[in-house]
Structure 1
Amino acid sequence: MSDEITPSAAVRTTSDAYRPPRDHLWFARSRHYIVFVLRELTSVFVAWSIVFLLMLVGAVLGGGLQEFAALAARPWMIAINVLTLAATVFHAVTFLNLAPKATVVRLDDWRVPAWMIQGGNHTAWLLISALIAYFVLRSP
């Protein structure tokens, strides 16, 4: 019956602390934020392209290529794969554009400009893609 404070009354709960309201559309404030979020979301499509490729390899090795071709020819599967191609290209371009920020190349005291690193990355990507397309699309 004294004026002592009980331990439970002296401890503030976390619900008493101020919490600012959350902005669920924080990324919509800036173009850079939107591109960042879109690039992160395209990772789902990159994952789908890997799954689709593994399905193709499994069909080739397992002898079910006809069933896979029938599945791949369905309109909804074509739409998903076209969307995946667009998302994967966006992912690759934005990723390669970030390379100069992550990689600093110096030759003696001279720093290689960002446009040269980007240009080299994009050129290598196009050349490798052209080489793969040549071998895949050539007639037997």
Structure 2
Amino acid sequence: MLVRGGLLRGLPQACRSRRGVAAGQGGQHHRLVQRTLDAVGEEMSRKPYIREISKTRWFLRQPRYMRYMAREVTCIFIFAYTFLLIVALARLSQGPDAFQEFLNALRSPLGVLFNLAVLIAAVYHSMSWFNVTPQAMPIQQGEEFVPGSIIVGAHYGAWAVISLIILFLGV
């Protein structure tokens, strides 16, 4: 059966060694030859599917995106406070009277509210980055990775120690 080609008769010769090209094997069978289509030369009428994505509210779809955008918005408060520190240095360079006016402005209700908003934004920003740290900075010790809870705990511990040092130095 194999010798006469009974079993392998339907296979293209390209699958076997030293014989023809598979693309030209179907020319002898009229049913295998493709016909020309009627629409040859004409444009296709089907439009490609374009998924509608909102350019302004894409982050409202998932809570994970909302947390991401909240963390990114906190950068605006950090920038504003950095600018406030630069203004404080400029007022300090202008003399003690100008710096005292600046400090009085910070003690006003609007100044206290601004500092409170910046503190909340800075705490949220720090906490969200500490929680992302194990994915952003995996630490490998030998063949295994350090658990994420240890990395996050080390960051919170360092934050608490540094905050206490600053608190005691400021008193």
For the superposition of Structure 1 and Structure 2, which TM-score range results when normalised by the shorter chain? Answer: 0.7 to 0.9
Q: Deviations over 1:87-117 (max 9, x none)?
A: 1110111011111101111111121000000
**Which structure has more RCO (C-alpha within 8 Å, separation ≥ 6)?**
1
| Structure 1 ranges of 4+ moved more than 4 A | 16-20
Aligned runs of 1:1-140 on 2, under 5 Å? 20-23=51-54, 24-63=56-95, 64-136=98-170, 138=171
Mapped to 2, the partners of 1:32 and 1:126 lie a distance apart of: 27
Q: In the aligned structure 1, how far is the partner of 2:60 from the partner of 2:161?
A: 35
Provide the alpha-carbon RMSD of the alignment. Answer: 1.8
The structure number with the bigger radius of gyration is 2
- Describe the shift of the 1:102–1:71 C-alpha distance in structure 2 as closer, same or farther (beyond 3 A): same
Letter in 2 for 1:127: V
1:121 alignment partner, SS class: helix
Higher helix share: 1
SS of equivalent residue, structure 2 residue 60: helix
Structure 1 position 19, deviation (Å) = 5.2
The count of aligned residue pairs is 122
With normalisation by structure 1, the TM-score equals 0.78
Tell me the amino acid that sits aligned with residue 116 of structure 2.
Answer: V
Residue by residue over 1:25-72, the C-alpha shift from the partner in whole angstroms, topping out at 9 and shown as x without a partner, is: 221221111100000010000111111222222333332221101211
Q: Percent of pairs identical after alignment?
A: 26
Unaligned runs of 5+ in 1: 1-15
CA distance in 2, matches of 1:97, 1:41: 17
Equivalent residue for 1:8?
A: none
